[in-house]
Structure 1
Amino acid sequence: MAHDSWCDPIVRGGRRYSGAVAREIRIKEARGMDTILATAIEHALQKTLDDVNLAVSKAEPVARKSKPGNLFGPKTQ
């Protein structure tokens, strides 16, 4: 089974917690799973936009006869 870093030990108030309790502490301190998910989506979308903008800035200009949606020119092998 894969390691779940959300359950890694955490110390609060001089006490050490691990497992499901540590995961719940992390979720609560991050203002809930809805906030965690919204933040993760926001970061993923920004990273994707940054990657696309970088790829577009490096790409050769696409001829007008390109198929719609082909931002990066012809496929290369």
Structure 2
Amino acid sequence: MKTLVYDRNEKKLLEKVTLKSIPYYINNVEYLVWTDIENPSKENMQFLLDHFRFHPLDIEDCRARAEVYFKSAA
């Protein structure tokens, strides 16, 4: 999971953003938070649910999965 934070007042990206600091930025209108979610760990999934308020199915859809498709016999 990669997170970028943009400071609207300073008009620049913040360089050092820790997981613990993200809730502060999410709840502050002076910042724009962008998170790339690709195959999140269980800990990251819980973090996203708790702080970004995603629906559990939205997070589940971000997880990598192998799907097998069968051709129907004609």
TM over 0.5: no
Scaled by the length of structure 1, the TM-score of the pair is 0.28
Structure number with the higher strand fraction is: 2
- The structure richer in helix per residue is 1
The one of the two structures with greater contact order (alpha-carbon pairs below 8 A, sep at least 6) is 2
* TM-score, L = length of structure 2: 0.28
